[in-house]
């Protein structure tokens, strides 16, 4: 890649009736219980990468130890609990080193936008995402962990299959903004929004040729870099940028300080020894 720039129903009968008349592209919100907690991803090998773009080559077999990953992207209400407990990460107190001036841009002081409690938090930098993960006793996923999770046990090109379908994820600008997490069917690992909704920060530094040079067991990216890796497509991304293999990064000077309307994250965690 050459510098690519960046929801207690009163009646089940009533709900089914509404859904039967809904446009086929209208997302169906899952029960909240399905979109909390973490999912165990089993240890094993998978084919990482693709032949679509130079920075995704070569396709190689990579082994990843078992780990846990959030079923859903971190939400605004989860983020509010974080900043309420950690005032230094509030909108008016965050250190300038950790954001580009757009941190929590749509928030009013410590309040998220009305009606968006279950939407993924956006306008958060890599530094803020990493701080949240640490507060939770978790971490950001590696790029390899993220890709294995997104592809599922069958290694799909998109989280729902190998053929792009704009109705199965929040992509292509059809809705024009984020949707509540878990609004679409999960992939075969039980994970939501691995394709679309928002891009997601990973722990790795971005390396253009890392797939060719990286190790084949629990790769963690280059030791140094200018931008952390971002994965997963977004609500405003189209077919080619929504694959489970698409790799994204942001150029300096903002890079990891970048806060935009289409970047969020989810957390990962090691399994007990």
Instruction: Mention the CATH class of domain 12-270.
Output: alpha beta
Nearest to 210 by CA among 232, 225, 197, 192: 225
In sequence order, the β-bridge partners of residue 68 are 40, 269
Q: What are phi and psi of 33, to 5 degrees?
A: -60, -25
Domain ranges of the chain: 12-270
Q: pLDDT tens digit string along 194-215? A: 999 999 999 999 999 999 999 9
What tens-digit pLDDT sequence spans the chain (273 residues)?
433 433 333 332 223 332 222 333 335 444 445 788 999 999 999 999 999 999 999 999 999 999 999 999 999 999 999 999 999 999 999 999 999 999 999 999 889 999 999 999 999 999 999 999 999 999 999 999 999 999 999 999 999 999 999 999 999 999 999 999 999 999 999 999 999 999 999 999 999 999 999 999 999 999 999 999 999 999 999 999 999 999 999 999 999 999 999 999 999 999 998
Label residue 257 exposed, middle or buried (CB < 10 Å: 0-12, 13-18, 19+). buried
Are 248 and 240 contacting, i.e. CB atoms less than 8 angstroms apart? no
Tokens encoding 202: 């990973």
Q: pLDDT tens digit string along 176-189? A: 999 999 999 999 99
pTM: 0.88
Dihedral sign of CA atoms 250, 201, 169, 235 in order: negative
**CA 237 vs CA 4, 6, 246, 260: distances in Å:** 12, 9, 11, 14
Report the chain's C-alpha Rg in angstroms.
18
Burial 96-131 (b: 16+ CB within 10 A, else e): eebbbebbbeebeeeebeeebebbbbbbbbbbbbbb
């Amino acid at each position: 890649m050459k510098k690519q720039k960046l929801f207690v129903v009163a009646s089940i009968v009533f709900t089914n009736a509404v859904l039967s008349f809904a446009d086929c592209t209208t997302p169906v919100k899952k029960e909240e219980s399905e979109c909390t907690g973490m999912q165990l991803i089993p240890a094993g090998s998978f084919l990482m990468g693709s032949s679509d773009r130079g920075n995704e080559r070569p396709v190689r077999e990579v082994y990843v130890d078992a780990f846990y990953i959030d079923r859903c992207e971190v939400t605004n209400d989860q983020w509010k609990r974080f900043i309420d407990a950690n005032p230094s990460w509030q909108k008016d107190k965050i250190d300038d080193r950790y954001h580009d001036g757009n941190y929590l841009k749509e928030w009013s002081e410590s309040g998220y936008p009305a009606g968006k409690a279950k939407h993924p938090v956006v306008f958060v930098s890599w530094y803020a995402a990493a701080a949240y993960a640490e507060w939770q006793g978790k971490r950001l996923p590696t790029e390899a962990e993220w890709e294995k999770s997104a592809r599922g046990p069958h290694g799909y090109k998109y989280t729902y299959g190998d053929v792009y379908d704009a109705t199965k994820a929040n992509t292509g600008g059809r809705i024009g903004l984020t949707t509540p997490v878990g609004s679409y069917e999960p992939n075969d690992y039980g994970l939501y929004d691995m394709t679309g909704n928002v891009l997601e920060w990973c722990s790795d530094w971005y390396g253009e040729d890392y797939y060719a040079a990286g190790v084949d067991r629990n790769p963690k990216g280059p030791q140094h870099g200018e931008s952390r890796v971002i994965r997963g497509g977004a609500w405003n991304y189209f077919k080619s940028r929504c694959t489970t293999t698409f790799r994204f990064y942001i150029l300096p000077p903002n890079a990891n300080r970048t806060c935009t309307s289409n970047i969020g994250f989810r957390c990962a965690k090691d399994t007990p020894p």
